[in-house]
Structure 1
Amino acid sequence: MNPTAMGGGPARVLVVDDLEASRFIACSWLRRSGHTVVEATTAAEALIALEGDSFDLVLLDVHLPDMSGYDVTERIKADPRTSSIPVVMLSATYIEPEDKVTGLTRGADAYLTEPVDPGELLANVEAALRYHRARALAEHLAARLTRLATATFAINAATTFKSLAEAAAIGAADVLDAEATAVLTDPSGAVCVVMAGAAWLRPDDADVERWMASLNPGVGVAVIEAAEVPWHQVAVVARTKLRRPPIGITVSPLAVTTDDDRNLLRQLAQAAALAAEGLHTFAEEHSLALTLQRSLLPRTLPQVPALPMTARYVPASSNAEIGGDFYDVIELDGRLLIAIGDVCGHSIEAATVMAEVRHTLRAYAVEGHRPAEILRRVDALLERFHPTGGLTTMCLLLVDLEAGTMAVANAGHVPPLVVDDQGAHYAHVHGPLLGIGLERPEATELPLPLGTTVLLTTDGLVERPGIDLDEGMEKLRAAVSNTEDMDDLADRLLAELGQGKRDDIALLLLRRLG
């Protein structure tokens, strides 16, 4: 149905009758009432007209030379493109009650018999149009609300500012059936401009940025008419807090002609502003957690020419909370105690326990305890003071460069990956995790020949939901090189195996050179 007819007033009517006199009379009455009339003399002409043009009503003679009006009605109602068009049947020959029943049963919206009074004909036409318009309007609004719900869901599901801008632009274009542009500012201050369904000239991003910076809409939603927008679009801007930059959505003025259009645009902008606020908050929390996490890790590693080292820490990509992953290197009179560990969980409690474990580890190491004894003492501390939230995995390497050995003690952690001229293999060192008070074995002494690389990592690098841990460990083993620069190696491993992980990743590499 065309927009004018949907809102009421004159309609486009197809009159189908093979008798010229009858057709003339009906068309005259309809034209006097303001309707636009198209004439057809056969069923074939009518069906061709319906296929190529848009009509709001069909006035159909039952007795046509090439096809029954009943069959034509069924064809109209069976076609999804025309099924909603009301059909008013008119007949001078099929006038018995059963004829009317047949016509109405096969799809007609009204059935009149000739001779018919002009008032009766026009009243039936108006009644059919009124019902059709109400139904079409209801379906139109329902479809718009469905698209609005879909757009709002996509906006709320966005996990980045760019995807949020894309969802807002696509949603506005879909809901209003028009070209749309969404403008967002991310926490770094960069302006993201995304267009959807765009056929008009794209505004320069710098112009958009300057225009957005000049706005001060306050808190809430404001619609700005085309005359006030540099590229002559209707814009809606919104924000939830004064300290946040506003978000903007612009569309063609032709798409915003009613209050309903403006309200839909306001709702989209409000949803986008709320979603942007969530992303801003998440970014702030993630930055704070990352800063706190890094403050609990060593700022630098010891510079030992015979044993160069490099380390990485990567927070979980989908978690704003602080984790319990850590690493440490402690110099001990010619030897080095290298530790990597993971306190279970993501919370302030996990970070607190991690800090305690790291400081306790350092204290026991300075006292001169063996790696296995250090683990026993840390285990006792966790069992006593953190019986419910202190489960921790840890691996210790006591490296003796003069002897060319490393004593390895493991407590439920991913074992060290040793890479030498024979290839890469995991050290066979195992033991129960910390915090449960179980007996644990002594450290295993392993050779550390010249040129050997050792990789220590937390399970975030090798663990993936739905995939066996052994499979992840094998992928890591196959990816490690013994000749690659360690910084390059660390970055490559994180790029290949560490993307999109739900857990933090701590990674430490060392290589004996002399």
Structure 2
Amino acid sequence: MNPTAMGGGPARVLVVDDLEASRFIACSWLRRSGHTVIEATTAAEALIALETDSFDLVLLDVHLPDMSGYDVTERIKADPRTSSIPVVMLSATYIEPEDKVTGLTRGADAYLTEPVDPGELLANVEAALRYHRARALAEHLAARLTRLATATFAINAATTFDALVEAAAIGAADVLDTEATAVLTAPSGSVCLATVGVRWPEGSTRPDDAEVEQWMSALNPGVGVVVVEPDTVPWHPTAPAVSVLARTKPRRPPIGIAVAPWAVRNDDDSNLLRQLAQATALAAEGLHTFAEEHSLALTLQRSLLPRTLPSRPELPMTARYVPASSNAEIGGDFYDVIELDGHVLIAIGDVCGHSIEAATVMAEVRHTLRAYAVEGHRPAEVLRRVDALLERFHPTGGLTTMCLLQVDLEAGTMAVANAGHVPPLVANAEGAHYVPVHGPLLGIGLARPEATEIPLPPATTVLLTTDGLVERRGVDLDEGMEKLRAAVSNTEDMDVLADRLLAELGQGKQDDIALLVLRRPA
């Protein structure tokens, strides 16, 4: 955008006339008014000048030796690069009103006839320039507001602090047509920084996180937006720079955006930068809140799970719990290991939903499970009693899946009772297979079969998991279960196995994952 086109004062004018005397007079008047004038004697010269240079107005003779001024005007208005340039037509052979109509219809912004009074010529030129400048300014502001809306959308759509700082830097660079740097502090205390169009000078080093946050907090100790005049900015590679700092809460670290000084020429530019910073600070506040809620939910979830697992050399085991990557609410996945006289009862389950209610039901199910297990009930009977409790006290929000293993090490067997859950995966020297034990989920009062007793010989690994590990939106559950079966090893260290399965199959899942692995050594 030509800066002259958006402000007042002198303009660059292209005067096109093959008559030297007429051209001299018009150019003299325009130059006396302070305008810069470029001359052309033919349509061809004029069109070449328009392609290679920028102009704010064209004063065009109607009759040129190589092309009609009407045709030249149409060419100017048809080209997107020159379509907004006002054209004032000047005719020495004006005869009929239709000539003026033709000129205006074909794109001219004004039509004058010679001899023309100097005041009239200059008044028409100034009127055309005012309209052109107003239109150029309106289009420029509209384009910037569109870019601001796009940048704000990207900022609000960011789901991580790294993505947010990158969106802020890209937005500032796009809105203000400049190099830009954005910086913010993540909950971990590390500083996230992104640049667009700038590089750290060779030999320079990025400042440490504490220095960056201290600099921003000193300049913006309270709530709001602060614009810092051109100065050396420790987190911006080049100096000087205009920086804007914003924060939404006193205890939150501020966010910062820095741009080149020439990009902030007036209050409009400063306000755009303020709006970007405010949007970034609000988006950062949302991410901080999400991180805090996610941490709180995870802490609460883990408090409801066993703190430790029994340490039994004859039956070593390991467990993992991974919250959903995109959900700050508490889930209903759980596992438990209950040591009883002569055997070990192992449970894994999932209360449907992500909410405080789901966590409450999960805790109630786990405590009920323990109570019935201590009373000595068989696995299938434990499931029946939990089912009755859920159906009576949680008829609408208590749907639960669960799988129970009652391991008898002396007999070398395990009794499996399943209630709508992913069946146990057993791996030995011959390979891995799912135990074909099924039953209805809990909370609906349906009849359920007795437990199935299967051998648990030495050198056998058993894996229990919730569906978060094998289920993916848009993919058949059987496909996910087959991937898990193919990935299980009977000889791999159990901790290594659990971590590998989560890394290979549990990334980016929309549901929580509970995983428990046990092994009867050879």
1:271 aligns with 2:275: no
Kindly state the Cα deviation for residue 214 of structure 1 after the two structures are TM-superposed.
3.3
SS of 1:149's equivalent?
helix
Q: Identify the residue that residue 66 of structure 1 maps to in structure 2.
A: 66
Answering whether residue 48 of structure 2 is matched by residue 17 of structure 1, we say no
Pick the aligned partner of 2:472 from 457, 464, 478. Answer: 464
Give the Cα–Cα distance (whole angstroms) in 2 for the partners of residues 113 and 137 of structure 1.
30
**Which residue number corresponds to residue 214 of structure 1?**
218
The answer to whether residue 89 in structure 2 is matched with residue 81 in structure 1 is: no
Find the aligned partners of 1:490 and 1:46 in 2 and give their Cα distance: 75
Provide the residue aligned with 1:406 in structure 2.
414
Deviation by residue 1:207-229 (Cα, 9 ceiling, x = unmatched) = 53442243343111111111474
Flag the 1:200–1:343 CA change in 2: closer, same or farther, 3 A. Answer: closer
Aligned to 2:463: 455
Taking the aligned partners of 1:246 and 1:277, their CA distance within structure 2 comes to 10
Structure 1 residue 93: deviation in Å? 2.6
In terms of mean alpha carbon deviation, does 201-210 or 291-300 score higher? 201-210
1:317-346 CA-to-partner distances (Å, cap 9, x unmatched) read 111111110001111223111100001111
The answer for the alignment partner of 1:32 in structure 2 is 32
Deviations 1:249-286 (A, max 9, x none): 11111111101111111111111111111111111111
Shift of 1:200: 7.4
Counterpart CA distance in 2 for 1:95 and 1:52 is 35
Segment of structure 1 superposing worse, 116-125 or 406-415: 116-125
Query: In the alignment, residue 167 of structure 1 is paired with which amino acid?
Result: A
| In 1, Cα distance between equivalents of 2:128 and 2:284 | 47
Find 2:230's aligned residue among 226, 231, 239: 226
Aligned position for 2:377:
369
Using the TM superposition, give the Cα deviation of residue 314 of structure 1 relative to its aligned residue in structure 2, in angstroms: 0.3
1:459 alignment partner AA: D
Asked whether the equivalents of residues 425 and 433 of structure 2 are also in contact (C-alpha less than 8 Å), the reply is yes
The answer on 1:131 being equivalent to 2:131 is yes
Taking the aligned partners of 1:203 and 1:86, their CA distance within structure 2 comes to 51
Deviation at 1:426, TM superposition (A): 1.4
Q: Which runs of 4+ in 1 moved over 6 A?
A: none
Structure 1 residues 335 and 199, CA gap change in structure 2 (3 angstroms): closer
Report if the CA contact (8 A) 1:332-1:366 is conserved.
Answer: yes
Q: Deviations over 1:143-179 (max 9, x none)?
A: 1111111111111111111111111111111111111
Output the CA distance in 1 between the equivalents of 2:199 and 2:87: 38
In structure 2, the partner of 1:499 is: 507
Structure 2 residue 261 is matched with structure 1 residue 253: yes
Amino acid across the alignment from 2:240: H
Contact residue 217 and residue 238 of structure 1 kept, 8 A? no
Task: Tell me, in whole angstroms, the C-alpha distance in 1 between the residues paired with 2:15 and 2:120.
Answer: 16
Match for residue 476 of structure 1? Answer: 484
Q: Output the CA distance in 2 between the equivalents of 1:81 and 1:448.
A: 80
Q: What's the offset of the Cα at 1:421?
A: 2.2
Out of 328, 344, 354, the residue aligned to residue 336 of structure 2 is 328
Q: State the AA in 1 paired with 2:230.
A: A
8 Å CA contact retained: 1:387, 1:435: yes
Counterpart amino acid of 1:447?
P
Contact 2:15 2:38 in 1 (8 A): yes
Q: Is the 8 A contact 1:410 1:430 kept in 2?
A: yes
Residue aligned with 2:141, SS: helix
Deviation at 1:455, TM superposition (A): 1.2
Q: Cα distance, 1:482 vs. partner?
A: 2.1
Give the match for residue 206 of structure 2: 204
SS of equivalent residue, structure 2 residue 65: coil
Which shifted more, 56-65 or 311-320?
A: 56-65
In 1, Cα distance between the equivalents of 2:5 and 2:82? 15
Does structure 2 retain, via aligned residues, the 8 Å contact 1:184–1:247? yes
Please give the secondary structure, in 2, of the residue aligned with 1:225. strand
CA distance in 2, matches of 1:200, 1:116: 60
Q: Aligned match of 2:439 in 431, 435, 453?
A: 431
Q: Distance in 2 between matches of 1:49 and 1:174?
A: 30
> What amino acid is the match of 1:116?
V
Q: What corresponds to 1:192 in structure 2?
A: 192
TM-score by length of 1: 0.97
Equivalent-residue separation in structure 2 for 1:329 and 1:218 (angstroms): 51
Instruction: Give aligned-pair identity as a percent.
Output: 87
**Quick one: which amino acid aligns to residue 228 of structure 2?**
I
Counterparts of 1:457 and 1:177, CA distance in 2 = 52
Opposite residue 346 of structure 1, the aligned amino acid is H
Does the Cα contact within 8 Å between 2:5 and 2:136 map onto a contact in 1?
no
Asked whether the equivalents of residues 380 and 417 of structure 2 are also in contact (C-alpha less than 8 Å), the reply is: yes
* In 2: Cα distance, 1:199 partner to 1:405 partner: 66
Q: How does 1:51-130 map to 2 (within 5 A)?
A: 51-130=51-130
Q: Indicate the residue corresponding to 1:303 in structure 2.
A: 311
Partner amino acid for 1:11?
A
TM-score (ref. length: structure 2):
0.95
- Asked whether 1:50 is paired with 2:82, we answer no
Mapping for residues 374-413 of structure 1, pairs under 5 Å: 374-413=382-421
What CA distance in whole angstroms lies between the structure 1 residues aligned with 2:363 and 2:11? 77
1:95–1:113 contact (8 Å) kept in structure 2: no
SS at match of 1:205: coil
CA distance in 1, matches of 2:78, 2:23: 25
Shift of 1:483: 2.2
Instruction: Return the alpha-carbon distance in structure 2 between the equivalents of residues 71 and 356 of structure 1.
Output: 85
1: CA distance, partners of 2:416 / 2:409: 14
- Count of aligned pairs between the two proteins: 514
SS in 2 for 1:183: strand
Cα 1:303/1:24, change in 2 over 3 Å: same
Report the counterpart of residue 241 of structure 1 in structure 2.
249
Flag the 1:266–1:203 CA change in 2: closer, same or farther, 3 A. farther
Q: In the alignment, is the contact (CA less than 8 A) between 1:62 and 1:94 conserved in 2?
A: no
Distance in 1 of aligned mates of 2:328 and 2:383? 30
- Structure 2's unaligned 5+ residue stretches are none
